[in-house]
Amino acid sequence: MASKHHPTPLSGGNRKALTKELARAPAVTTILAARSAEKRAAGEDLIREADDLLCESWNERMWADGGPVDPSPSIDQAINAGYPWLEIKCSRCMTPRAVDLAALPHVATTHVHDLTGRLRCQKCRKVGKRPTAELLQLRQRSPTGDES
């Protein structure tokens, strides 16, 4: 790559210093890029930790009180935290189901509680009913071995 034009300093000392700085530039570039990558990785670890705490907090509330479901983590936060499964049951026939959040088409702003009205029970649909889903827990693994 052609080096950028730097105006030649008038004094010999400054010319030497400029030459030295330009020689160091590739090494400095590499060091700064590596530090940036380290900071980004550390930041991503912290975000994952925050997402994990949010999922645990939601699970705790659902376990202890059964709700309210809102606020809840976003689907992307749950997946990022390693909780890609949502355990639900039909509010009418009580049939349990595990939903694979990663396989669910969603936009970045979709939160877990937004799914209450979206996840319909197949059994009840067959008899013309459209009950809402009762959200139970976020899981790291499929609780039933179901595929959404």
Q: In the complex, which residues of this chain contact Zn ion (CB under 5 A)?
A: 90, 92-93, 121, 123-124
Cβ nearer to Zn ion, comparing 32 with 93: 93
Q: Which residue has the tokens 């049939």?
A: 95
Supply the minimum distance, in Å, between the C-beta of residue 127 and Zn ion.
9
Which residue type, as a one-letter code, is found at position 96? Answer: P
Cβ nearer to Zn ion, comparing 107 with 127: 127
Supply the minimum distance, in Å, between the C-beta of residue 110 and Zn ion.
22
Give the separation between CA 128 and CA 122, rounded to whole angstroms. Answer: 10
Supply the minimum distance, in Å, between the C-beta of residue 90 and Zn ion.
3
Write the CA distances from 47 to 12, 58, 87, 148, integer angstroms: 51, 17, 24, 27
Cβ nearer to Zn ion, comparing 46 with 94: 94
Give the separation between CA 86 and CA 109, rounded to whole angstroms. Answer: 17
Cβ nearer to Zn ion, comparing 61 with 123: 123
Supply the minimum distance, in Å, between the C-beta of residue 135 and Zn ion.
14
Instruction: Report, in angstroms and rounded to the nearest whole number, the Rg of the chain calculated over CA atoms.
Output: 27
DSSP conformational letter for 74:
B
